[in-house]
A and B are shown apart, each in its own frame.
Chain A
Amino acid sequence: MNVRRSVRALRTVGAAVVALGLLAVGCGGGSGGSADGKVTIRYSWWGAADRAELIKKTITLFEKKHPNITVKTDFQEYGDFWTKFNTQAAGGNAPDVFQNSVAFLRKYGEKNLLLDLNSQVKAGNLSLEDFRAGLEKAGDIDGKLLGVPVGGNTFALVYNPAEFKKVGVTPRLGWTWDEYNTAVKKISEAKDGLYGASDNGGVMYLYDLYLRQHGKAFFTADKTLGFTEDDLKQWWGDHLAANKAGDLVPAKKSEQVKPKSSVSADLSASEFTWDNFLVRYGAETKTALALAPIPTTDGKKTGQYISSLMLSGSARTKHPKEVAQFIDFMTHDPGVGKIMGYNRGVLPTNAQFDAYTPTGVDAQVAAYEKEVAAAGVIEPITPHPAGADVCEASLLRIYGEIAQGTTSVDKGVSTFFSEAKTALGS
């Protein structure tokens, strides 16, 4: 009798446990529930801690002006951002709104992951008025509006004015690569532990500028590479030689200071990067840095173009209206402009640009962009086909191996071309 009762009791308990377990599994976390009119959207971006601080402030501002919308945030370093995004998007769980850039618009646009914001513009939730320098067209891919710029930037040379002064070289518009390389050499020889320049041989955007100065470009309109293996062999060969000669920061050293760059770790006196990075580097080092014009080949052409960081929406978002309102706020609201400054580039709309009086590093960025615009060196942007991001990463990685001495220039070039062909062909 006891056995039967205890067995039955056990079975009942067991069944109850199983039922509870299944119930718990079934109650997964919901996302962005719109009970009682409140909406939650998720916003992801890449950047360093300084950008995160500023963005959080802008979100507080946004939530005050739109009390029915709550914004959940998330951010990573650049390289990790897209990996996380890929995983989330593959699971149908991409963030509602996220930071983007020109190189990725086609890649994710072709996979139908980006929200076409044109419908929201028509509905009046997002305004394309008042953008500066034609930036409202930056996110237009084949008629679809896949991204809205939050800042305009262009390539520049971040440098240490004091060190350049010591060797008697003053960067100015139209200076040449020879003058620059001489300065770099002199700085490296003068001081121990400080190199004239970071090794930027693997940076796609810099090589693009160099190619554009020679009438080519990194990509062609036909979605292929715009240069030959010999071109790349020369570019990498020159950089490797300068590296070995001690002019450029050795790879072993630049690896160790990650995530800081060589120039913000006070290892190098100059580095080619986006002009708005001066804001980040300024926060990372006490050394006074400034922006210099890109060296030219012919005394005039720098090959520069205006690029931009953008905000895009996920095609699968359940709240396209709120996403549009968020983007609209972030690009037009003067309060946001005053908080962000030029962290993501020069402010994209006149309302924000006029509301913010740049000081310190931001003023330097503003002055640089003004100078570059006045010099008339800005040209249309190189088209970035789908697979551009893979090419960017491959170039960086392969040159890194060359600089570390684990592979040769010739081998690296052929590896890059085969990887690029796969990436662009797919």
Chain B
Amino acid sequence: MSHTQTPARAVAPRDAAPGRPAATARRRGSGRETLAGYLFLTPWCIGILLLTLGPMLVSLYLSFTSYNLFDSPKWVGLRNFQDMFADERWWKSVRVTSVFVLVATPIKLAVALGVALLLVRPRKGQAFYRSAFYAPSLIGASVSVGIVWRALFSQDAVVDQAGRLFGLHTDGWIGDPDWSMPTLVALSVWQFGAPMVIFLAGLKQVPRELYEAAEVDGASAWRRFRSITLPMISPVLFFNLLLEIIHSFQVFTSALVIAGPGGGQAGGPGGSLLVYTWYLYDQGFQQLRMGYASAMAWMLLLGIALVTAVLFRTQKLWVHYEEEGTGVR
């Protein structure tokens, strides 16, 4: 039939009332396409069921049990959660992780925004700088970089010697419970390249006329930044903030590697690097309390969900989306 040679979708809006044979032919054709689409989706569906959703549901079940990996799980109801709130080390891991998130995220985003502002205007070697700053975020969370970082911050190494020049703390950073967290924060901030690239994209979209108009009105650079740049990139800022916070809550490899070899002692020097995920790993795989660890995992999910919800609620106050279009607030 000649009129099925054109794709069914293109035909539909224009031919409002075609003959019946055309309509059924169109439905049959789109039915086959849908089927093909679903078939192509099946590998991904299997993956998400077996590797993500399935384990998540099992983990939810395990969080209400006592499970030591070898005997079958025993139902204990809410006891894992009760134990959690009474567990001092759990509170410590929450504190350590919260400190990390609250300190590393603002610094990282500030540095990312600052460097993005420097790179937004075309200059020589711009592509090189972009790539150079972006590279750390590709490899930063890896074990090898963690090992290098630990070496850099140990006694008499580069950072220690440089610190001596500025009268900063000496005697190594990684063995000291007061200075091991700054080491971890520094590693996180060093990976500012990814949010920076996103900021760059956001900054490039700010219309030049706004800046020109502000200059004509005599606005200073800071005023222009505060009243034009920040509001105009606030969606991008919100996106970066959200993603960075969610990501920081899950820090694991960096903390583990910076704290050094010879595991079995979760938490690094004096427990100062006991991030939440590390304590979870320790409880689940070293102490063989997998039920408790599963409960911890769901608690982390709830915590991050809470933070995310709060962020979304407050975005009305400071995030300005173009579609609302009433100008700079």
Contacts and interface: CB of A to CB of B under 8 A. Distances in A.
A2 B263 CA distance: 63
A191 interface: no
A256 B155 contact: yes
B264 A406 contact: no
A397 B175 contact: no
Nearest to B66: A426
B262 A86 contact: no
A407 B35 CA distance: 63
Interface string A241-256: 0000000000111111
Nearest to A21: B43
B272 interface: yes
Interface string B228-268: 00000000000000000000000000000000111111111
A111 B262 CA distance: 25
A15 B38 CA distance: 10
A14 interface: yes
Contact of B7 (A3, A15, A77, A80): A3
Contacts of B70: 89-90, 111-113
Interface string A1-40: 1111001101100110110010000000000000000000
B21 to A, nearest CB: 14
A393 B175 CA distance: 19
A252 B154 CA distance: 10
**Majority secondary structure, A binding face:** helix
Contacts of A251: 175, 269-270
B5 interface: yes
Interface in B82-97: 88
Interface string B22-48: 000000010011011001101100000
Contacts of A415: 88
Given A21-B43, A111-B71, A256-B154, A79 B264 contact: yes
Contacts of B297: none
Contact of B265 (A11, A390, A396): A396
Interface string A394-425: 00110011001111000000010000000000
Contact of A4 (B32, B262, B269): B32
B312 to A, nearest CB: 36
A10 B286 contact: no
Contacts of B264: 78-80, 82-83, 393, 396
B262 A77 contact: yes
A4 B8 CA distance: 11
Interface residues of B, number: 43
B280 interface: no
Nearest to A393: B264
B88 A79 contact: no
B270 A2 contact: no
B269 A252 contact: yes
Interface in B257-292: 260-272, 285-288
Contact of B32 (A1, A7, A254, A258): A7
B177 interface: yes
A87 interface: yes
Contacts of B88: 415
A124 interface: no
A376 interface: no
A299 interface: no
B187 interface: no
A406 B271 contact: yes
Nearest to B271: A401
Nearest to B281: A83
Contacts of B171: 252-253
A7 B36 contact: yes
Contacts of A18: 39, 42-43
Contacts of A407: 270
B39 A15 contact: yes
A255 B260 CA distance: 8
Contacts of B32: 4, 7-8, 11
Interface string A270-308: 000000000000000000000000000000000000000
Interface residues of A, number: 46
Contact of B175 (A1, A4, A256): A256
A390 B265 CA distance: 11
Given A86-B286, A251-B270, A3 B177 contact: no
Contact of B270 (A1, A7, A17, A406): A406
B174 interface: yes
A113 B68 CA distance: 13
A113 B70 CA distance: 9
B69 interface: yes
A136 to B, nearest CB: 28
A256 B174 contact: yes
B262 A87 contact: no
A83 B69 CA distance: 12
Contacts of A396: 264-265
Given A7-B36, A111-B70, A390 B287 contact: yes
A89 B154 CA distance: 36
A15 to B, nearest CB: 6
Interface string A52-69: 000000000000000000
A405 B261 contact: no
B215 interface: no
Contact of A86 (B5, B33, B69, B175): B69
A79 B42 contact: no
B4 interface: yes
A199 B272 CA distance: 20
Given A252-B172, A406-B270, A80 B263 contact: yes
A252 B176 contact: yes
Contacts of B154: 256
Nearest to B42: A18
A259 B269 contact: no
A318 to B, nearest CB: 19
B286 A253 contact: no
A399 to B, nearest CB: 10
Given A86-B69, A415-B88, 5 more contacts: A3-B5, A77-B262, A80-B264, A255-B176, A258-B261
Query: Top 7 A-B pairs ranked by shortest CB distance?
Result: A79-B264, A404-B270, A255-B175, A90-B69, A406-B270, A79-B263, A14-B39
29 contacts: A1-B5, A3-B29, A4-B32, A7-B29, A8-B32, A11-B35, A11-B36, A14-B36, A14-B39, A21-B43, A77-B262, A78-B262, A80-B261, A83-B264, A83-B286, A86-B69, A252-B172, A254-B175, A255-B174, A255-B269, A256-B172, A256-B174, A258-B261, A259-B262, A396-B264, A397-B267, A404-B269, A405-B177, A426-B68
